[in-house]
Structure 1
Amino acid sequence: MTSDFIHFFQLLDTLSELNEAEKKIMKTLFSFRYVPKKTILTQAGETAHELYFINKGLLRLYYRKDGEEITAYIFREHLFASSYDSFLKQEPGIQYLETLEDCQLLVINYRQMQELYQTVPKMHIITRKIAEQRFINAQQILSSFLLDSPEERYAKFEQSNKDLLHRIPHHIIASYLGITPVSMSRIRKRRIEQQRK
């Protein structure tokens, strides 16, 4: 069980150093869960009751519109994930959260999270810092959509997430980058040809 929390506490200690008593409380409130690939954890119209820390695997947050899936974010190892607006407001959301790979997760529900805020006050600092990072990420994604060409968006994704190109179906990456799978295929081909020169 302790090994399930290694990366979890490595991350939290960079945000606010926790003592052993605080870590012990967290271990009682978070539970380990194995979730198979292609499992829907939250869907539109439902309230998200859980927050996840990803030990292993990938999660995808997406919307559905006119029969199409629009990928909003891809959560990778050692990130917290949820349908945040629904989780924080405890109201039905408009997003889907799905596992893209077999996942090993640490899970806490909304009630336990409120208990954690009471028993480990440092969680206020930790969640604020995580929220700040999420805000920065969201701003970077928005800026890229407004300012970058599809080719530039792909190049940035490739630079920072090269491993994901081999782990995620390309139509999902194309959706996340706001381009069609055909356009992304052309971009990939051009970049491979340029790299060969």
Structure 2
Amino acid sequence: MFTNLIKNLEDYLHFEEDELAFLLALMETRVVKKNEMVVRVGEPANYVYYIDKGLVRFYHELDGKEHTYRIFRENMWISDYAAFLTRSKSIMNIEALEDCVLIQLHYDHMQKGYERAKVFERFGRKMAESLFLTTVQRTMDIMAKSPETRYLELLEHDAEMIHRVPLKYIASMLGIEPESLSRIRKRTARFHTKS
């Protein structure tokens, strides 16, 4: 059951067998149906989630309109991490876009890991660094790259997502309206064979 998770953890750093067993024992599996909310704005952000199967959308609402920040897929971690770290209520929604299998780690369990061995602190730091770098990169992309460039980069790095995610969410993630995405897709059709 934890095969993908173990590989993901080992990509962060090496765990001794007993350390890995200890960490896995702290985690629990959660099955979430398509369109089900994993976390809602205002709820405690008690968990970080590893996505073993499925897609989830990370979004917020402003003036009655949903704004998709990012789509997460298999082999990624997700949480309203700032709220998780500060023990505050989530300011983001996390929604399943497909039936999902999540492996969740509670804040208190993460703290137990930190107390047990330095490797868990290094893992937490590496996870935080990864999330920070992703956030900085997204901010820089929005500021410095055109929506068309961001779309082409998404096609290049994760074309499968285009086929799994409703285009309105892709458009929102790119910071544009669906109609603008349609025009971009028509203009860039020569760069991809299937859309």
Partner of 2:86: 89
In 2, distance between residues paired with 1:70 and 1:126?
A: 30
Q: CA deviation at 1:33?
A: 1.7
Query: Which digits, 9 at most, give the CA deviation of each residue in 1:128-156, with x for residues without a partner?
Result: 11222222221221111111111111111
User: Which secondary structure state, in structure 2, belongs to the residue aligned with residue 161 of structure 1?
Assistant: helix
The Cα RMSD (Å) is 1.5
Q: Aligned partners of 1:130, 1:51: CA distance in 2, in Å?
A: 10
Q: Is the 8 A contact 2:31 2:102 kept in 1?
A: yes
Q: Deviations over 1:4-36 (max 9, x none)?
A: 211111122122211111121122110112111
Match of 1:126 among 123, 127, 137: 123
Map 1:38-187 to 2 at 5 A: 38-187=35-184
Q: Relative to structure 2, which stretch is displaced further, 128-137 or 64-73?
A: 128-137
Which of residues 16, 23, 27 in structure 2 aligns to 1:19?
16
Q: TM-score of the superposition, structure 1-length normalised?
A: 0.92
Moved more, 145-154 or 120-129: 120-129
| TM-score calculated relative to the size of structure 2 | 0.93
| Larger deviation, residues 7-16 vs 98-107 | 7-16
Displacement after TM superposition at 1:119 (Å)? 2.2
SS in 1 for 2:2: helix
1:121, CA displacement in angstroms? 2.7
AA partner of residue 178 (structure 1): G
Unpaired runs of at least 5, structure 1 = none
Say how many residue pairs are matched: 193
Deviation at 1:193, TM superposition (A): 4.9
Percent of residue pairs bearing the same amino acid type: 36
